[in-house]
């Protein structure tokens, strides 16, 4: 049986420790932002920390919204405040195509579509695994959700946790965590996705969270351009 990790705050150099898979990870505080997606990401990398991909972010939000032991800590309150009033950046790139969406963990903080080629992405997916029709590369850094596996607009929390784009973005465990997070809001969760019609070119977008996207519900956008300078994120440190 694995260790039962619990969320906690480490102050001095402030760190928000949260359970993640079979270990724990730390989000450094204060946040970076407000700024553009690229600027926030590059500042985090310059501080010798990792950027928060979808898998990591799901664990942070689950602790901030669903764990009573840290819910009233000021650092976790700030996480909820960003969700309520601004944009929390997720360092995933989403290449929307006529067949579906490729989700790429953007650990190097690249913003250009030029480096993304469907043929190359398909090569990376070979030899990987499939979960609920969602394909994962062996290193899980590239995922693909086919059309028909994901929705758009208001969906229930149960549908949200099983949505193909959400699973591709946050992994199966993260999708389940976010399904629980979405129940903490007054409205149903809202998903922003793109529909690329047959014959149209792929479009590159990025992922963000924010209630501002959806009134009083958890809003998740997979179609954000994030160049308006109002994004925030927390750097990540991985425990040994």
Alpha carbon distance 124, 102 (integer Å): 11
102-122 burial by CB neighbour count: b if 16+ within 10 A, else e?
Answer: bbbbbeebbbeeeebeeeebe
The model's pLDDT over 183-208, given as tens digits with 9 standing for 90+, comes to 999 899 999 999 999 999 999 999 99
pLDDT band at 209 (very low <50, low <70, confident <90, very high): very high
Alpha carbon distance 205, 1 (integer Å): 40
* Residue corresponding to tokens 């290193």: 139
Half-sphere exposure of 53 (CA within 13 A, CB side): 27
The model's pLDDT over 53-76, given as tens digits with 9 standing for 90+, comes to 999 999 999 999 999 999 999 999
């Amino acid at each position: 049986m694995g260790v039962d990790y619990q969320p906690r705050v480490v102050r001095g150099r402030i760190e928000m420790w949260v359970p993640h898979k079979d270990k724990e990870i730390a989000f450094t505080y204060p946040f970076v932002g407000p700024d553009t997606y690229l600027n926030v990401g590059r500042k985090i990398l310059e501080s010798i920390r990792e950027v928060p991909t979808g898998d990591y972010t799901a664990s942070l939000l689950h602790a901030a919204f669903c764990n009573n032991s840290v819910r009233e800590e000021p650092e976790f309150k700030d996480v909820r405040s960003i969700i309520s009033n601004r944009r929390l950046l997720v360092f995933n790139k989403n290449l929307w195509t006529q067949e579906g969406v490729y989700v790429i963990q953007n650990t190097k903080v690249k913003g250009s579509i030029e480096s993304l080629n469907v043929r190359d992405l398909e090569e990376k997916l070979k030899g990987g695994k499939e979960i609920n029709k969602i394909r994962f590369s062996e290193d899980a850094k590239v995922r693909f959700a086919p059309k028909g596996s994901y929705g758009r607009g208001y969906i229930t929390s149960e549908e949200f946790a099983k949505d193909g784009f959400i699973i591709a973005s946050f992994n199966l465990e993260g999708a389940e965590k976010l399904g629980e997070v979405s129940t903490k809001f007054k409205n149903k969760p809202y998903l922003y996705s793109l529909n690329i019609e047959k014959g149209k070119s792929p479009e590159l977008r990025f992922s963000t969270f924010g209630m501002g996207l959806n009134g009083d519900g958890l809003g998740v956008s997979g179609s954000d351009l994030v160049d308006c300078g109002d994004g925030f994120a927390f750097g990540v440190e991985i425990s040994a």
